[in-house]
Structures are given as C-alpha cells and as structure tokens.
C-alpha cells in the first residue's frame, strides 16, 4: 500500500465516509500497528443498544435526584425541629415523633444514595460508549476508527505527502516511529541536562552565600 492510498483511507475514516478500498492484509497492518481500531458489528450493535437507554436513564436519574432533594428538605426541617430551643418544651409524644422522623430520614437518604450512584456510574459509562460510537465508521462487516497514533500519522502524511506519495506506507510508518523515538530520546536527554544545570546553579549560589548545603 502506497502512502497516498493510506492517507486517503485514514483521512476518510476521520471524515466518517470511506470510499477508498484496501486489502484486508493492509487493514490488518493498520490495526496491528495501532493506527486503526476495529469493532465487530455484534459489539457495535450491543453498544448501540446500551447507549439507546441513555435518555431513559438520564430521565430516571433526574427524578431520583428530585426525590432526594425533597427528602433532604424534609430531613433539614426535622433537624431544625430537634435543634430548636422550643424542642425541650414539647411533650414526649412530639419528641418521639421528631426522633422517629430523624431516624426515618437517615435510613431513607442512605437507601436513596445507592440507586443514584449506580445510575450516575451507568450514565458516565454510556456517555463514554456513545463518544466512542460517534467516532466509528462502517467498513465491510465491521466498524473502524482512528486511534490517537492514527491521527498523528494522518497529520504527518498530510504534511509530507508531496514527498512520500509513492513510498510504501509500511516504510513510512517505520521511519515515523524511528523519528519519534529519536525525538523522545533527545527530549529526555535535554530534560536531564536542564535538571543538572539547575542543580549546579543552586549549589553555586549556596556556596556564594556561605550557607550550609544541609
């Protein structure tokens, strides 16, 4: 596969409209190299079915939070009664009623937290799945999306395509890996040098002021 074909295919995945056809061998290479993520139709359909419940769960979560808010308000009122300076002046029947209400409030609020926390976690999970689904584009009997490495590679191809159009994509990808590895090595070396340079400045300044390094 030439770089020009790879660029077209990867760009079309990003734009969610694939017209360029490549061999399954080339697709396997893109996938195993970490540039393209592949999702089976079965997994896609399952995730889509789960995400379809997002609105329903959001609505239920809103109702649960409204009920919790009402329960909180009732609990606050009961607590005010208990803390009121008039509370000791009331009879035993009133005091027992307030005490029972406080116990009921505490039990109810504890129970309400469980389904709300579960629904909040479910909504968060579904939102993440929906975001992932939105990036997928159908291709054959599966769905594709670019990985972060794939996005970086497309940008690099776009910048260099005039020079590498007829180059084998596998060679280009290998060169890019080597280039980024070298850049990381240089960056790491530079960070070590900067740290050592700062230490020298610090110790020199300490010597000049006559202060104990300890």
Residue whose C-alpha is closest to residue 27's, from 45, 15, 39, 44? 39
- pTM of the prediction? 0.59
3-class SS of residue 141: coil
- Residue 139 CA to residue 129 CA, distance in Å, equals 19
Q: How many Å is the maximal CA-CA distance in the chain?
A: 94
Give, as one character, the DSSP assignment of residue 33: T
CA 10 to chain CA mean position, Å: 23
36-53 average pLDDT score: 88
- Residue 1 CA to residue 5 CA, distance in Å, equals 6
Contact (CB, 8 A) for 145 and 137: yes
Could you give the angle at the alpha carbon of 186 between the alpha carbons of 183 and 190, nearest 5°?
Answer: 140
Query: Given this model, what pLDDT does residue 213 score?
Result: 47
Q: Which structure tokens are listed for 110?
A: 């504890």
Q: Tell me the per-residue pLDDT of 21-41, one tens digit each, with 9 for 90 and over.
A: 999 999 999 999 999 999 999
Which segments of 16-147 does DSSP mark as H helices, in order? 24-32, 41-51, 54-83, 92-134
Q: Tell me the per-residue pLDDT of 101-152, one tens digit each, with 9 for 90 and over.
A: 777 767 666 665 556 567 677 777 777 888 888 889 999 999 999 999 999 9
């Amino acid at each position: 596969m030439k770089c020009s074909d790879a660029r077209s295919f990867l760009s079309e995945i990003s734009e969610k409209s694939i017209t360029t056809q490549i061999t399954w061998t080339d697709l396997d290479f893109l996938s195993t190299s970490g540039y393209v993520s592949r999702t089976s139709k079965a997994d896609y359909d399952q995730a889509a079915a789960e995400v379809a419940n997002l609105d329903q769960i959001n609505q239920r979560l809103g109702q649960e939070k409204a009920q919790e808010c009402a329960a909180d308000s009732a609990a606050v009122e009961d607590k005010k009664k208990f803390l009121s300076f008039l509370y000791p002046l009331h009879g035993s029947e009133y005091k027992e009623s307030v005490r029972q209400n406080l116990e009921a409030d505490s039990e109810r609020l504890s129970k309400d937290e469980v389904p709300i926390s579960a629904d909040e976690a479910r909504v968060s999970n579904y939102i993440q799945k929906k975001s992932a689904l939105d990036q997928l584009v159908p291709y054959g009997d599966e769905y594709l999306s670019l990985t972060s490495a794939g996005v970086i590679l497309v940008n690099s191809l776009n910048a260099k395509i005039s020079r590498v159009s007829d180059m084998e994509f596998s060679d280009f990808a290998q060169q890019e890996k080597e280039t980024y590895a070298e850049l990381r090595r240089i960056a790491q070396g530079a960070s070590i040098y900067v740290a050592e340079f700062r230490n020298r400045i610090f110790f020199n300044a300490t010597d000049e002021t006559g202060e104990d390094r300890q």
